[in-house]
Amino acid sequence: MKQFEGRVAVITGGASGFGKEFARTGAALGMKLVLADVQQDALDAAVAELKAQGAEVIGVRTDVSRGEQVQALADAAMERFGQVNVLFNNAGVGAGGLLWENSLKDWEWVLGVNLYGVIHGVRIFTPLMLAAAAQDPTYQAHIVNTASMAGLLSPPAMGVYNVSKHAVVTLTETLYQDLGLVTGQVRCSVLCPYFVPTGINQSQRNRPTDLANDAPPTRSQLVSQALTDKAVTSGKVTAEDVARKTFDAIREESFYIYSHPQALAPVQQRFEDIIGQRNPGDPFADKPEVRAGLVAALRG
């Protein structure tokens, strides 16, 4: 897709982080915008900001873990603008800790947003895009699913998050293959960012009360949260940088999008371990002090 002006973008998690920067970039390119977010006040503020800049935009409060709400989002987009050209399945949350210490509610919350949010987006919006493509040979569309470098690696004390993002990577790879069987007008990409200051480390603020844990956080969960806070807030690549790279990838029809391509060495090592039938290597091999600190914190 080379032309963005006048095209319609739907962005989940659109009130903060990557989503907000996707919206800002899209607005600067003349796109019409549909922002979805579970946090109403942040959503209202993002819509107001974009309208003040002259963008044509609506906001739809959406819990992406609920299929009926994603359907309502699609209905609102079609009612207002008549089509969707770019879908950013971007809403995401984070949780950590040793795998066996995560509660069922942890799994339901993280997989609900990170995985089922993407599932609902793909199953609801893709048919709309294919129908538009069948009616108009000039129509083009693109789906961007936000995964993570954690979808290509398996770092410790991040199991729930890792599982959700690995699933998004393979889902999007399969979507790429499936779309290629039926059309050349609808494309897709997977975004795999590393640590970027987006606020995802504060995602507990929007955790539903019915999925809140009864017990206090474990030692490993507190340690994981502290490490994530430090890594996310100290990131040098900005969400704006990532948004710019993502739009470049849409233009160039590039599938894999990385915020830190220089950090792919552990991914290569992982696949070499798989091919060589070796036991999983140390994901902190290049930063042994991180592993040492994690071991010390967990063992007390």
**Catalytic center residues:** 161
CB proximity list for 197: less than 8 A, separation 6 or greater: 232, 233, 234, 235, 238, 239
Contact 34, 60 (CB under 8 A): yes
Residues sharing a CB contact under 8 Å with residue 255, sequence separation 6 or more, in sequence order: 172, 173, 176, 188, 189, 190, 249
Residues paired with 59 in a beta bridge? 35
Q: Cα-flanking dihedrals φ and ψ of residue 108, to 5°?
A: -65, -40
DSSP 8-class letter at 245 = H
Q: What 3-state class would DSSP assign to 10?
A: strand
d(CA 154, CA 225) in angstroms, rounded, equals: 17
CA 59 to mean position of chain CA atoms: 19
Residue 258, SS3 per DSSP? strand
